[in-house]
């Protein structure tokens, strides 16, 4: 029997995660690049971002090939760690009782760096179940799992408590999401006066639109690099007021030059990054903003 009730239009079930997000999660659930795992193994700080600062290129002169590889790996890790410390320094001052939020935490290195610097509590969120599990295991091994926690969640909709965070950040993860949705979530999580920091690769508005190299980087990582202008518009719309902006493009070059020579670690994207930075179409940027 058909009733009037049955005749109502039905709504298709909304998936909790978009097809795009599933594809991104698949990438990170299967990613095992030596450039991430071999660097991380050095001191159990697993980063998913690039490095900054002057590189010691003399590591390439080592005649013994096994030792040369080891030295190059350590030098790249040193540069990535310097990048993580630069970001962490902008989060503070923070007290051990403060909570921080790491949006797109990868295998967890950034939250550990923040915790070691400030003694603070950290919540890292990643769309990859495998990364969340890996990061959690690292925190347990370090004996800091009571203060540093990782969650398999969406950074746009974390379910974490409103206004509970003194600082939050994205370290090279904003290119996977819509900035307005992301910054609305940061603004919700941060307490008034809280600090937000982002390090990102963005395309340069003065170049025009996305260059061939920027498009190749998007295809390589399945991401969608935003223009520089989009960051400032979206921050302003979401109660986040920039207090410091730093162009790190020059400082990013030595890392890529060394990585391109690291035959045991290259992934194939190295020359594209170098061209993108050198032709002016792509910039490496740090923005720190206050939540008002
Ligand atoms: C590095 O992660 C960052 C990203 C994948 C996001 C894209 C970043 C831009 C600046 C465009 P990773 O450390 O896992 O990458 P890789 O395996 O290449 O080292
Ligand atoms: Mg890496």
Whose CA is closest to atom 13 on ligand 1?
A: 48
Tell me the whole-structure pTM to 2 decimals. Answer: 0.95
Determine the Cα–Cα distance for residues 52 and 251; give it in Å rounded to an integer. Answer: 5
The pair phi, psi for residue 148, each rounded to 5°, is: -115, 115
Determine the Cα–Cα distance for residues 139 and 157; give it in Å rounded to an integer. Answer: 23
Averaged pLDDT, 250-276: 98
Q: Which domains does the chain have, with CATH numbers?
A: 16-291 (3.40.50.150)
Convert the pLDDT of each residue in 82-115 to its tens digit.
999 999 999 999 999 999 999 999 999 999 999 9
pLDDT at 3 (0 to 100): 54
Convert the pLDDT of each residue in 58-79 to its tens digit.
999 999 999 999 999 999 999 9
pLDDT surpassing 70 at residue 185: yes
- Give ion ligand 2 contacts, CB < 5 A: 35-36
Burial of 287 (0-12, 13-18, 19+ CB in 10 A): buried
How are beta strands 282-291 and 190-203 bridged, if at all?
Answer: antiparallel
Q: Which residues contact 212 (CB under 8 A, 6 or more apart)?
A: none
Convert the pLDDT of each residue in 198-253 to its tens digit.
999 999 999 999 999 999 999 999 999 999 999 999 999 999 999 999 999 999 99
Q: Give SS3 for 165.
A: strand
Which of 235, 248, 196, 194 lies closest to 83 in space, CA to CA?
248
**Of 34, 47, 48, best ligand 1 pocket probe by most atoms within 8 Å of the beta carbon:** 48
Check pocket membership of 110 for ligand 1, CB cut-off 6 A: no
Determine the Cα–Cα distance for residues 183 and 180; give it in Å rounded to an integer. Answer: 5
Check pocket membership of 221 for ligand 1, CB cut-off 6 A: yes
């Amino acid at each position: 029997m058909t009733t009037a009730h049955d005749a109502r239009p039905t709504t298709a079930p909304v998936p909790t995660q978009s097809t795009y997000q599933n594809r991104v999660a698949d990438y990170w659930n299967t990613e095992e690049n030596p450039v991430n795992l071999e660097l991380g193994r050095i001191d159990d700080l697993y980063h998913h971002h690039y490095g900054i600062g002057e590189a010691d290129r003399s590591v390439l002169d080592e005649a013994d090939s096994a030792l040369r590889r080891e030295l190059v790996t350590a030098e790249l890790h040193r540069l990535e760690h310097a990048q993580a410390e630069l970001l962490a320094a902008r989060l503070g001052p923070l007290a051990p009782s403060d909570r921080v939020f790491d949006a797109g935490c990868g295998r967890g290195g950034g939250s550990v760096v923040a915790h070691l610097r400030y003694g603070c509590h950290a919540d890292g969120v990643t769309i990859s179940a495998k990364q969340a599990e890996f990061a959690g295991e690292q925190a347990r091994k370090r004996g800091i799992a009571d203060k540093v926690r990782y969650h398999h969640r969406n950074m746009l909709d974390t379910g974490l408590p409103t206004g509970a965070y003194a600082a939050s950040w994205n370290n090279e993860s904003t290119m996977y999401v819509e900035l307005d949705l992301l910054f609305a979530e940061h603004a919700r999580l941060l307490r008034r006066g809280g600090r937000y920091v982002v390090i990102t690769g963005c395309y340069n508005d003065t170049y025009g639109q996305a260059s061939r190299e920027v498009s190749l980087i998007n295809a390589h990582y399945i991401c969608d690099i935003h223009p520089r202008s989009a960051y400032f518009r979206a921050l302003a719309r979401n109660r986040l007021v920039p207090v410091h902006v730093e162009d790190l493009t020059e400082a990013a070059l030595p890392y890529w030059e060394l990585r391109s020579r690291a035959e045991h670690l290259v992934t194939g994207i190295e020359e594209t990054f170098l061209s993108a930075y050198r032709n002016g179409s792509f910039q490496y940027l740090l923005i720190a903003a206050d939540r008002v």
